[in-house]
Amino acid sequence: MISPASLLTLTDQDTNVLGFKGPRKMKVVIPAMSTDKERLSVKPRKDSETLLERWKNGQMTDLLEVHNKQPTWSEETQAYVLNFHGRVTQASVKNFQLVHSADEGYIVVQFGRVSEDVFTLDYKYPVCAVQAFAIALSSFDSKLACE
C-alpha cells in the first residue's frame, strides 16, 4: 500500500518577463524500486526522515525524482505546447508529462484535459496507479481564481 508519506509533489510557476505565469514546474519524489522490481519502503520515524526533508538535504538514497517535461513555446499558437500523441485534446495549465532527467524521452506519467471536466491519465514503470492518481490530483491543488 502506498501511504501519503510515500509521495512528494512540489509545484512552482515562474513569472516570465511580462509578469505572466509561465509553465508549471513540477518535481515528484517517490520510493525507488529494488533490482527485483519491488517498491522500497520509506517509513520516516522523525521529521528529518520525511521525503521533503530528505529531498531538501540531497539524501536521495532509495528515492526517485522525476520532473515535468518542459513545454516549448509555439509561435503559431502563442502558447507553450507538449506532444501528447493524441491522448490530450485541450489546452490546460494542468496538463503535464513527467520524465526522469536520465531519459527525457521516457514519459512515466502523462495527464491532460480531453473535455471540460474530463482528463486522461497514463502511467508506466516505475510509477504505480495509486502514485499516478495522487500526482494527477496534485495538479488541482491551486486557487481557481489565479488561473
Q: Which single residue is written with the C-alpha cell 526522469?
A: 100
Sheet arrangement for strand 118-123: 8-15, 21-31, 63-68, 96-100, 103-115, 118-123
5-60 confidence digits (pLDDT tens): 455 555 554 554 445 566 778 899 999 999 998 999 889 999 989 999 999 999 99
Domain count, the chain: 1
The confidence score (pLDDT) of residue 3 equals 44
The confidence score (pLDDT) of residue 2 equals 45
Is 0.85 surpassed by the pTM of this model?
Answer: no
Nearest residue to 88 via CA among 114, 117, 127, 49 = 114
Give the residue numbers spanning the domain of 92: 4-146
82-94 confidence digits (pLDDT tens): 888 888 888 888 8
